[in-house]
Amino acid sequence: MMANKYSASEFISNVHALILTKIFYRNARLIRRPFYIRGKRSFKFDSGLTLGHACRFDLLGDAEKRLIIGRNCEIGDYVHIVAHESVTLGDDVLIASKVFISDTSHGSYSGDFQDSPLVKPNDRKLVTKAVNIGSNVWIGENVVILPGVKIGNGSIIGANSVVNKDVADNSIVVGSPARVIKQYNFEQQLWRKKEN
């Protein structure tokens, strides 16, 4: 197991963050600063949450819980989550740095009612579709997860992937758009390449 070796300033910064965590977010393991949250009333998390530096959560802010994070989740630096309808993370989710997860889009671009490119993006109606990320999921660096996506338990999302459709349980997906390259075979206890 690899051990982290912090510099003196990093150690002091982590101790300071730990003290603030225990004052403002008692159930969390560690919330590093800065931490930006809009709509705090819409945020719910279970015990053991760890957040990296400069995470940003943009939530609707009403009485409904829009962002729900399960037990023992670890979220890296510069992760941005937008939850105007619902973003749910299961237990033991590991998210690398610079990940973007959103249940919201500026406008509609399919179906009967589509937005015109002549309308300014900020003037287009916000369209939301819930995002659900299962338990034991590992999300790599620079991943984008788009509205309406469900990621199954035990799945791995490779670095730099754009996930625009559902991911089955125990799958490895990579690419833009993300596609399944392996699935776990429980009988053989191996990750097997997906047959096309």
Contact call for residues 120 and 141 (beta carbons, < 8 A): no
Per 3-state DSSP, the chain is made up of helix, strand and coil in percentages (nearest 5) of 10, 35, 55
Q: Which residues of 102-116 are buried (b: 16+ CB within 10 A; e: fewer)?
A: bbbbebeeeeeeebe
Query: Does 53 participate in catalysis according to the annotation?
Result: no
Residue 26 amino acid letter: R
Report how far residue 162's alpha carbon sits from residue 14's, in angstroms, rounded to the nearest whole number.
32
Catalytic residue among 16, 80, 84, 106: 106
**Radius of gyration for the alpha carbons in the chain, expressed in angstroms and rounded:** 18
Residue with tokens 């053989």: 188
**Which are the catalytic amino acids?**
106
